[in-house]
Protein backbone atom coordinates (compact mmCIF):
# COMPACT_ATOMS: atom_id res chain seq x y z
CA UNK A 1 0.00 0.00 0.00
CA UNK A 2 2.82 2.38 0.94
CA UNK A 3 6.30 1.62 -0.36
CA UNK A 4 9.20 3.66 0.91
CA UNK A 5 12.37 3.05 -1.05
CA UNK A 6 15.87 4.22 -0.11
CA UNK A 7 14.53 7.36 1.52
CA UNK A 8 17.23 9.75 2.74
CA UNK A 9 16.94 13.14 4.37
CA UNK A 10 19.61 15.04 6.24
CA UNK A 11 18.40 17.70 8.67
CA UNK A 12 21.55 17.94 10.72
CA UNK A 13 20.69 16.58 14.13
CA UNK A 14 18.05 14.27 12.72
CA UNK A 15 18.40 12.26 9.54
CA UNK A 16 17.11 9.34 7.49
CA UNK A 17 19.54 7.02 5.80
CA UNK A 18 18.27 4.80 2.99
CA UNK A 19 15.04 3.83 4.69
CA UNK A 20 13.13 1.10 2.90
CA UNK A 21 9.78 0.04 4.31
CA UNK A 22 6.60 -1.57 3.00
CA UNK A 23 3.32 -0.95 4.72
CA UNK A 24 0.34 -3.19 4.05
CA UNK A 25 -3.24 -2.03 3.60
CA UNK A 26 -5.03 -2.01 6.95
CA UNK A 27 -1.88 -2.71 8.89
CA UNK A 28 -1.01 -1.27 12.31
CA UNK A 29 2.73 -0.67 12.13
CA UNK A 30 4.54 0.55 15.21
CA UNK A 31 7.95 2.15 14.79
CA UNK A 32 10.05 2.07 17.92
CA UNK A 33 13.49 3.48 18.53
CA UNK A 34 15.55 5.66 20.84
CA UNK A 35 15.39 9.48 20.83
CA UNK A 36 17.09 10.89 17.77
CA UNK A 37 16.58 7.74 15.72
CA UNK A 38 14.74 9.72 13.05
CA UNK A 39 11.24 8.41 13.78
CA UNK A 40 9.45 11.75 13.62
CA UNK A 41 11.30 12.94 10.52
CA UNK A 42 10.33 9.68 8.80
CA UNK A 43 6.66 10.35 9.59
CA UNK A 44 6.94 13.97 8.48
CA UNK A 45 8.63 12.97 5.25
CA UNK A 46 5.84 10.46 4.56
CA UNK A 47 3.33 13.24 5.22
CA UNK A 48 5.16 15.48 2.75
CA UNK A 49 6.34 18.14 5.17
CA UNK A 50 9.94 17.85 3.95
CA UNK A 51 11.03 16.87 0.47
CA UNK A 52 13.45 13.91 0.78
CA UNK A 53 17.05 14.27 -0.45
CA UNK A 54 16.67 11.00 -2.33
CA UNK A 55 14.42 7.97 -2.51
CA UNK A 56 10.79 7.50 -3.44
CA UNK A 57 7.47 7.14 -1.65
CA UNK A 58 4.78 5.19 -3.51
CA UNK A 59 1.22 5.30 -2.21
CA UNK A 60 -1.21 2.85 -3.78
CA UNK A 61 0.94 2.59 -6.89
CA UNK A 62 1.33 6.36 -7.29
CA UNK A 63 4.60 8.18 -6.79
CA UNK A 64 3.86 10.85 -4.16
CA UNK A 65 7.48 11.74 -3.35
CA UNK A 66 7.11 15.34 -4.46
CA UNK A 67 3.40 15.87 -3.88
CA UNK A 68 2.48 18.63 -1.37
CA UNK A 69 0.96 17.35 1.89
CA UNK A 70 -2.56 18.52 1.07
CA UNK A 71 -2.73 16.23 -1.97
CA UNK A 72 -1.70 13.09 -0.11
CA UNK A 73 -4.64 12.58 2.24
CA UNK A 74 -2.26 11.41 4.95
CA UNK A 75 -3.03 12.77 8.42
CA UNK A 76 -0.72 13.27 11.40
CA UNK A 77 -1.44 13.24 15.12
CA UNK A 78 1.35 14.57 17.35
CA UNK A 79 2.28 13.95 20.95
CA UNK A 80 1.45 17.56 21.86
CA UNK A 81 -1.93 17.44 20.07
CA UNK A 82 -1.30 20.60 18.04
CA UNK A 83 -4.93 21.65 18.30
CA UNK A 84 -5.36 25.17 16.95
CA UNK A 85 -5.83 27.25 20.11
CA UNK A 86 -7.87 29.98 18.41
CA UNK A 87 -10.55 27.52 17.25
CA UNK A 88 -13.13 25.55 19.22
CA UNK A 89 -12.98 21.76 19.30
CA UNK A 90 -15.72 21.72 16.68
CA UNK A 91 -13.81 24.11 14.40
CA UNK A 92 -10.64 22.13 14.94
CA UNK A 93 -12.23 18.84 13.90
CA UNK A 94 -13.96 20.49 10.96
CA UNK A 95 -10.82 22.38 9.86
CA UNK A 96 -9.97 20.07 6.97
CA UNK A 97 -13.58 19.72 5.83
CA UNK A 98 -13.96 23.50 5.59
CA UNK A 99 -10.90 23.57 3.34
CA UNK A 100 -12.58 20.93 1.19
CA UNK A 101 -15.45 23.41 0.78
CA UNK A 102 -17.95 20.87 2.04
CA UNK A 103 -21.51 22.12 2.72
CA UNK A 104 -21.97 23.42 6.27
CA UNK A 105 -24.59 20.89 7.38
CA UNK A 106 -22.48 18.03 6.04
CA UNK A 107 -19.47 19.31 8.02
CA UNK A 108 -21.62 19.63 11.13
CA UNK A 109 -22.81 16.05 10.74
CA UNK A 110 -19.37 14.56 10.14
CA UNK A 111 -17.79 16.51 12.99
CA UNK A 112 -20.52 15.38 15.37
CA UNK A 113 -20.13 11.78 14.25
CA UNK A 114 -16.36 11.86 14.74
CA UNK A 115 -16.76 13.51 18.13
CA UNK A 116 -19.26 10.87 19.22
CA UNK A 117 -16.93 8.13 18.03
CA UNK A 118 -14.24 9.49 20.35
CA UNK A 119 -16.70 10.41 23.14
CA UNK A 120 -15.95 14.13 23.03
CA UNK A 121 -19.31 15.29 21.65
CA UNK A 122 -19.95 17.17 24.91
CA UNK A 123 -16.84 19.29 24.36
CA UNK A 124 -17.43 20.62 20.85
CA UNK A 125 -18.01 24.24 21.89
CA UNK A 126 -14.95 24.38 24.17
CA UNK A 127 -11.50 25.75 23.36
CA UNK A 128 -8.57 23.31 23.42
CA UNK A 129 -6.80 24.87 26.41
CA UNK A 130 -9.80 24.09 28.63
CA UNK A 131 -9.49 20.36 27.87
CA UNK A 132 -7.48 17.66 29.62
CA UNK A 133 -4.60 16.01 27.78
CA UNK A 134 -6.63 12.92 26.98
CA UNK A 135 -9.53 15.00 25.67
CA UNK A 136 -7.20 17.08 23.54
CA UNK A 137 -5.65 13.99 22.02
CA UNK A 138 -9.11 12.58 21.29
CA UNK A 139 -9.96 15.82 19.52
CA UNK A 140 -6.71 15.63 17.54
CA UNK A 141 -7.50 12.05 16.52
CA UNK A 142 -11.04 13.07 15.55
CA UNK A 143 -9.64 15.93 13.46
CA UNK A 144 -7.57 13.39 11.53
CA UNK A 145 -10.23 10.64 11.33
CA UNK A 146 -12.86 12.98 9.93
CA UNK A 147 -10.66 13.41 6.84
CA UNK A 148 -11.01 9.70 6.09
CA UNK A 149 -7.23 9.49 5.50
CA UNK A 150 -5.63 6.70 3.48
CA UNK A 151 -2.90 6.59 6.09
CA UNK A 152 -2.89 7.81 9.68
CA UNK A 153 0.46 8.76 11.20
CA UNK A 154 0.71 8.91 14.98
CA UNK A 155 3.79 10.51 16.50
CA UNK A 156 4.06 9.30 20.10
CA UNK A 157 0.34 9.97 20.52
CA UNK A 158 0.18 8.59 24.06
CA UNK A 159 3.48 9.81 25.49
CA UNK A 160 2.19 13.04 27.02
CA UNK A 161 -0.68 11.31 28.86
CA UNK A 162 -0.83 9.88 32.36
CA UNK A 163 -0.99 6.12 32.87
CA UNK A 164 -4.71 5.58 33.06
CA UNK A 165 -5.59 7.94 30.22
CA UNK A 166 -2.86 6.38 28.14
CA UNK A 167 -4.33 2.93 28.62
CA UNK A 168 -7.83 4.11 27.70
CA UNK A 169 -6.67 5.88 24.59
CA UNK A 170 -4.58 2.88 23.60
CA UNK A 171 -7.73 0.76 23.67
CA UNK A 172 -9.47 3.46 21.70
CA UNK A 173 -6.81 3.32 18.99
CA UNK A 174 -7.15 -0.43 18.76
CA UNK A 175 -10.91 -0.08 18.48
CA UNK A 176 -10.68 2.59 15.76
CA UNK A 177 -8.22 0.47 13.83
CA UNK A 178 -10.46 -2.58 14.01
CA UNK A 179 -13.57 -0.56 13.20
CA UNK A 180 -12.30 1.25 10.12
CA UNK A 181 -9.49 -1.04 9.05
CA UNK A 182 -7.44 2.11 8.61
CA UNK A 183 -3.72 1.85 7.92
CA UNK A 184 -1.79 3.27 10.86
CA UNK A 185 1.89 4.03 11.40
CA UNK A 186 2.51 4.73 15.07
CA UNK A 187 5.84 5.98 16.41
CA UNK A 188 6.71 5.36 20.04
CA UNK A 189 9.45 4.52 22.50
CA UNK A 190 7.08 2.56 24.71
CA UNK A 191 7.23 -1.24 24.42
CA UNK A 192 3.76 -1.78 25.82
CA UNK A 193 2.33 0.07 22.85
CA UNK A 194 4.17 -2.29 20.54
CA UNK A 195 2.68 -5.37 22.16
CA UNK A 196 -0.75 -3.89 22.65
CA UNK A 197 -1.21 -2.43 19.19
CA UNK A 198 1.27 -3.58 16.56
CA UNK A 199 0.60 -6.02 13.76
CA UNK A 200 4.22 -5.45 12.89
CA UNK A 201 6.99 -3.51 14.58
CA UNK A 202 9.90 -1.70 12.95
CA UNK A 203 12.92 -0.87 15.09
CA UNK A 204 14.69 2.33 14.10
CA UNK A 205 18.18 3.48 14.95
CA UNK A 206 20.42 6.19 13.52
CA UNK A 207 18.11 7.05 10.67
CA UNK A 208 17.49 3.53 9.47
CA UNK A 209 15.12 0.67 10.10
CA UNK A 210 17.21 -2.10 11.57
CA UNK A 211 14.56 -4.79 11.85
CA UNK A 212 10.92 -5.15 10.94
CA UNK A 213 8.55 -8.00 11.68
CA UNK A 214 5.87 -9.27 14.03
CA UNK A 215 6.65 -8.16 17.59
CA UNK A 216 7.24 -11.65 18.94
CA UNK A 217 9.83 -12.39 16.31
CA UNK A 218 11.64 -9.07 16.61
CA UNK A 219 11.90 -9.23 20.39
CA UNK A 220 12.66 -12.93 20.59
CA UNK A 221 15.13 -12.99 17.73
CA UNK A 222 16.75 -9.58 17.46
CA UNK A 223 18.98 -9.49 14.41
CA UNK A 224 21.63 -7.31 15.98
CA UNK A 225 22.98 -6.37 19.35
CA UNK A 226 21.43 -2.90 19.14
CA UNK A 227 17.92 -4.33 19.20
CA UNK A 228 18.83 -6.85 21.88
CA UNK A 229 20.17 -4.08 24.09
CA UNK A 230 17.56 -1.52 23.21
CA UNK A 231 14.62 -3.82 23.69
CA UNK A 232 16.17 -5.76 26.59
CA UNK A 233 12.69 -6.63 27.73
CA UNK A 234 13.30 -9.92 29.41
CA UNK A 235 10.70 -12.39 30.48
CA UNK A 236 8.03 -11.42 27.99
CA UNK A 237 5.58 -14.21 27.39
CA UNK A 238 2.67 -14.47 25.08
CA UNK A 239 -0.13 -16.67 26.28
CA UNK A 240 -3.82 -17.27 26.76
CA UNK A 241 -5.41 -15.66 29.76
CA UNK A 242 -8.30 -16.99 31.85
CA UNK A 243 -9.79 -15.04 34.71
CA UNK A 244 -9.79 -16.67 38.12
CA UNK A 245 -11.44 -14.85 41.04
CA UNK A 246 -9.62 -11.53 40.98
CA UNK A 247 -6.51 -12.94 39.35
CA UNK A 248 -5.71 -14.41 36.00
CA UNK A 249 -3.99 -17.55 34.86
CA UNK A 250 -1.88 -17.23 31.75
CA UNK A 251 -1.09 -20.37 29.87
CA UNK A 252 2.31 -20.03 28.19
CA UNK A 253 3.38 -23.17 26.32
CA UNK A 254 1.72 -25.36 28.93
CA UNK A 255 3.16 -23.46 31.89
CA UNK A 256 0.59 -21.57 33.97
CA UNK A 257 1.62 -18.18 35.33
CA UNK A 258 -0.65 -16.52 37.86
CA UNK A 259 -1.00 -12.76 37.76
CA UNK A 260 -2.87 -10.44 40.06
CA UNK A 261 -3.54 -8.02 37.21
CA UNK A 262 -6.77 -9.02 35.63
CA UNK A 263 -7.24 -8.54 31.91
CA UNK A 264 -10.15 -10.76 30.96
CA UNK A 265 -9.86 -13.75 28.70
CA UNK A 266 -7.85 -13.92 25.50
CA UNK A 267 -4.39 -13.45 24.09
CA UNK A 268 -2.13 -11.37 26.33
CA UNK A 269 1.49 -10.57 27.04
CA UNK A 270 2.93 -11.05 30.49
CA UNK A 271 6.22 -9.73 31.81
CA UNK A 272 8.17 -10.33 34.99
CA UNK A 273 11.11 -8.17 35.92
CA UNK A 274 14.24 -10.32 36.39
CA UNK A 275 14.89 -8.88 39.85
CA UNK A 276 11.46 -10.07 41.03
CA UNK A 277 12.36 -13.71 40.43
CA UNK A 278 13.78 -15.46 43.49
CA UNK A 279 16.08 -18.46 42.96
CA UNK A 280 16.47 -21.29 45.48
CA UNK A 281 17.92 -24.77 45.71
CA UNK A 282 14.80 -26.18 47.35
CA UNK A 283 11.12 -25.33 46.73
CA UNK A 284 10.19 -22.30 48.87
CA UNK A 285 7.08 -22.29 51.04
CA UNK A 286 5.68 -18.78 50.69
CA UNK A 287 2.65 -16.77 49.70
CA UNK A 288 4.12 -16.34 46.20
CA UNK A 289 1.85 -18.09 43.74
CA UNK A 290 4.33 -18.84 40.98
CA UNK A 291 6.94 -21.51 41.59
CA UNK A 292 8.69 -23.49 38.89
CA UNK A 293 11.58 -25.87 38.54
CA UNK A 294 14.07 -25.40 35.74
CA UNK A 295 17.59 -25.87 34.50
CA UNK A 296 20.20 -23.12 34.41
CA UNK A 297 21.16 -22.65 30.78
CA UNK A 298 23.26 -19.53 30.95
CA UNK A 299 25.11 -17.39 33.49
CA UNK A 300 26.36 -13.96 32.49
CA UNK A 301 28.49 -11.85 34.79
CA UNK A 302 27.71 -8.17 34.27
CA UNK A 303 30.01 -6.96 37.00
CA UNK A 304 27.37 -5.41 39.25
CA UNK A 305 24.85 -8.20 38.84
CA UNK A 306 24.77 -11.76 37.54
CA UNK A 307 22.08 -12.70 35.00
CA UNK A 308 20.95 -16.27 35.15
CA UNK A 309 18.78 -17.84 32.45
CA UNK A 310 16.64 -20.76 33.56
CA UNK A 311 14.75 -23.06 31.21
CA UNK A 312 11.44 -24.18 32.65
CA UNK A 313 9.94 -25.03 29.30
CA UNK A 314 10.02 -21.30 28.70
CA UNK A 315 13.14 -19.25 29.41
CA UNK A 316 13.20 -17.02 32.51
CA UNK A 317 15.92 -14.52 33.29
CA UNK A 318 16.74 -13.66 36.88
CA UNK A 319 19.36 -11.31 38.27
CA UNK A 320 21.36 -11.88 41.43
CA UNK A 321 23.74 -9.69 43.31
CA UNK A 322 27.36 -10.82 43.29
CA UNK A 323 27.05 -11.80 46.97
CA UNK A 324 23.88 -13.80 46.47
CA UNK A 325 25.37 -15.57 43.50
CA UNK A 326 28.56 -16.51 45.37
CA UNK A 327 26.70 -17.90 48.34
CA UNK A 328 24.48 -20.08 46.13
CA UNK A 329 27.39 -21.34 44.04
CA UNK A 330 25.29 -21.79 40.88
CA UNK A 331 26.55 -23.56 37.78
CA UNK A 332 25.16 -24.01 34.29
CA UNK A 333 23.20 -27.24 33.86
CA UNK A 334 22.07 -27.40 37.50
CA UNK A 335 18.43 -27.64 38.49
CA UNK A 336 16.97 -24.72 40.41
CA UNK A 337 13.63 -23.47 41.72
CA UNK A 338 12.33 -20.06 40.85
CA UNK A 339 9.58 -18.22 42.68
CA UNK A 340 7.76 -14.95 42.05
CA UNK A 341 4.62 -13.26 43.31
CA UNK A 342 1.45 -12.94 41.27
CA UNK A 343 1.72 -9.17 41.75
CA UNK A 344 5.11 -9.19 40.01
CA UNK A 345 3.51 -10.38 36.78
CA UNK A 346 2.53 -7.50 34.56
CA UNK A 347 -0.12 -8.32 31.98
CA UNK A 348 -1.01 -6.26 28.93
Where in 190-229 is the site for other proteins (CB under 8 A)?
none
Among 44, 135, 156, 193, binds other proteins (CB under 8 A): 44
Counting contacts by CB under 8 A, is residue 299 touching other proteins? Answer: no
Where in 94-133 is the site for other proteins (CB under 8 A)?
95-96, 99-100
Q: Which stretch binds other proteins (CB under 8 A): 44-52, 237-245, 261-269, 331-339?
A: 44-52
Among 86, 229, 245, 329, binds other proteins (CB under 8 A): 86
- Residue among 70 and 171 whose Cβ is closer to other proteins: 70
Residues 6+ apart with CB under 8 A from 292: 255, 312, 316, 337, 338
What is the Cα–Cα distance from 203 to 32, expressed in whole angstroms?
5
Counting contacts by CB under 8 A, is residue 78 touching other proteins? Answer: yes
Counting contacts by CB under 8 A, is residue 274 touching other proteins? Answer: no
- Residue among 74 and 184 whose Cβ is closer to other proteins: 74
Among 84, 253, 295, 332, binds other proteins (CB under 8 A): 84
If we measure between CA atoms, which residue out of 33, 125, 268 comes closest to residue 259? 268
Counting contacts by CB under 8 A, is residue 147 touching other proteins? Answer: yes
If we measure between CA atoms, which residue out of 3, 36, 33 comes closest to residue 19? 3
Counting contacts by CB under 8 A, is residue 82 touching other proteins? Answer: yes
In 3-state terms, what secondary structure has residue 82? coil
If we measure between CA atoms, which residue out of 146, 77, 81 comes closest to residue 109? 146
- Residue among 147 and 258 whose Cβ is closer to other proteins: 147
Residues 6+ apart with CB under 8 A from 212: 21, 200, 201, 202, 203, 218
Among 49, 262, 284, 300, binds other proteins (CB under 8 A): 49
- What backbone torsions phi and psi does residue 66 show, to the nearest 5 degrees? -110, 20
If we measure between CA atoms, which residue out of 14, 12, 2, 68 comes closest to residue 205? 14
The least CB distance from residue 316 to other proteins, in Å, is 43
What is the Cα–Cα distance from 27 to 25, expressed in whole angstroms?
5
Residues 6+ apart with CB under 8 A from 324: none
- Residue among 44 and 135 whose Cβ is closer to other proteins: 44
- Residue among 40 and 271 whose Cβ is closer to other proteins: 40
Binding residues for other proteins, per CB under 8 A? 44, 47-49, 68-70, 72, 74-76, 78, 80, 82, 84-86, 95-96, 99-100, 143, 147
Amino acid sequence: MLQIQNLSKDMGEFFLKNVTLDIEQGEYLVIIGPTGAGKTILLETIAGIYPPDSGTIILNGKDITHLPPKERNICVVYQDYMLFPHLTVEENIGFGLVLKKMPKDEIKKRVTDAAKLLSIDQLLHRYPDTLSGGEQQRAAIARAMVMDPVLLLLDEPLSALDGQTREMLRKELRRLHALYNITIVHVTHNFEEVFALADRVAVMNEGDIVQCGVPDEVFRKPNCSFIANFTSVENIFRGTCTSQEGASAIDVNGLTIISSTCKGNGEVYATVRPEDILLSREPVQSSARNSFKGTITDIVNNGMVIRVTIDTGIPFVSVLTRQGFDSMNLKEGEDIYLTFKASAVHVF
